[in-house]
């Protein structure tokens, strides 16, 4: 059954995450409740070590929660097996990290289309067209065939946003996407995210320590003592 439009983007119920076992066990998330609707642009705040990256990795299905309810687009991801999670991730989720994580020897275009090659198991001509369009959207149509190593930090991060958009995800998880950029490049990336959020209705969850970044989002949540406060 297809999820209806009223289906939330994601729902977390009493979610916990503990790293390690026994005496060294650390509970980072302590019963976190959160519902996000589709299409938002949400700032994720919290002190260093509060669990922002942990939460983003769980939402990205890269890390398993310890207990609680975890549903995205109506699908139960807590009980899903690894193959289902991989498939879900490839179809619905994009990532932008603080360090762009581009493949250095690949060109801008090759980096952007990489997620679709992973999803489809083959590089389709349509993917190259979409990749070129996305690089145009992020203002880098003149850098399509530049290797990643030949791009500036801000340009790399805009390629990373284009790459995150490649599979047309419902949610992009951005972990301090502007953390390594000067203020001008940071603003360009935020302008881009704002534009994409409006035009494609892609939801963004953006972890940040920067109040100026949070102020540009449509809402904010904060992790404190392992919960959303």
Ligand X SMILES: Nc1ncnc2c1ncn2[C@@H]1O[C@H](COP(=O)(O)OP(=O)(O)OP(=O)(O)O)[C@@H](O)[C@H]1O
Residue 26 binds which of ligand X, Mg ion, none (CB < 5-8 A, kind-dependent): ligand X
Q: Count CA within 13 A, CB hemisphere, residue 222.
A: 10
CB nearer ligand X, residue 51 or residue 131: 51
With binding defined as CB under 6 A, does residue 202 bind ligand X?
Answer: no
- Three-state SS at 19: strand
Compute how many residues bind ligand X; rule: CB under 6 A.
Answer: 12
Site string for ligand X, 3-42 (x = CB under 6 A): ----------------xx-----x-x--------------
- 175 beta partners: 207
Shortest spacing between CB 53 and Mg ion, in angstroms: 3
- Distance between CA atoms of 110 and 112, rounded to whole angstroms? 5
Residue with tokens 């320590």: 209
Angle (deg, nearest 10), helices 108-120 and 82-92: 140
Site string for Mg ion, 51-70 (x = CB under 5 A): -xx-----------------
Residue 49 binds which of Mg ion, ligand X, none (CB < 5-8 A, kind-dependent): ligand X
Give a three-class secondary structure readout of 130-180: HHHHHHHHCCCHHHCCCEHHHCCHHHHHHHHHHHHHCCCCCEEEEECCCCC
Shortest spacing between CB 226 and ligand X, in angstroms: 9
Residue 19 binds which of Mg ion, ligand X, none (CB < 5-8 A, kind-dependent): ligand X
Site string for ligand X, 39-58 (x = CB under 6 A): -------x-xxxxxxx----
CB nearer ligand X, residue 63 or residue 132: 63
- Three-state SS at 206: strand
CB nearer Mg ion, residue 53 or residue 185: 53
Burial of 68 per CB tally in 10 Å (0-12, 13-18, 19+): middle
For 179, residues 6+ apart whose C-beta sits below 8 A from its C-beta are: 98, 208, 209
Site residues (vs ligand X, CB under 6 A): 19-20, 26, 28, 46, 48-54
Site residues (vs Mg ion, CB under 5 A): 52-53
């Amino acid at each position: 059954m297809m999820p209806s439009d009223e289906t939330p983007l994601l729902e977390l119920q009493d979610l916990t995450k503990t790293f390690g076992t026994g005496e060294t066990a650390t509970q980072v998330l302590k019963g976190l409740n959160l519902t996000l609707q589709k299409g938002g642009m949400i700032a994720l705040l919290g002190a260093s070590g509060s669990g922002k990256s942990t939460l983003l990795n769980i939402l990205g299905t890269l890390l398993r929660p310890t207990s609680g309810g975890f549903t995205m687009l109506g699908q139960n991801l807590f009980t899903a097996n690894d193959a289902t999670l991989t498939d879900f991730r490839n179809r619905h989720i994009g990532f932008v990290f603080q360090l762009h994580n581009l493949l250095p020897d690949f060109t801008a275009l090759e980096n952007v289309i990489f997620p679709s090659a992973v999803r489809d198991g083959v590089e389709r001509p349509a993917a190259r067209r979409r990749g070129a369009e996305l690089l145009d959207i992020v203002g880098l149509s003149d850098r399509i065939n530049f290797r990643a190593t030949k791009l500036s930090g801000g340009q790399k991060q805009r390629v990373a946003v284009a790459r995150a958009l490649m599979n047309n995800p419902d949610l992009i998880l951005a972990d301090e996407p502007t953390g390594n950029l000067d203020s001008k490049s940071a603003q360009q990336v935020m302008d881009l995210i704002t534009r994409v959020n409006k035009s494609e209705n892609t939801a963004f969850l953006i972890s940040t320590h920067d109040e100026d970044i949070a102020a540009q989002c449509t809402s904010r949540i904060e992790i404190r003592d392992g919960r959303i406060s």
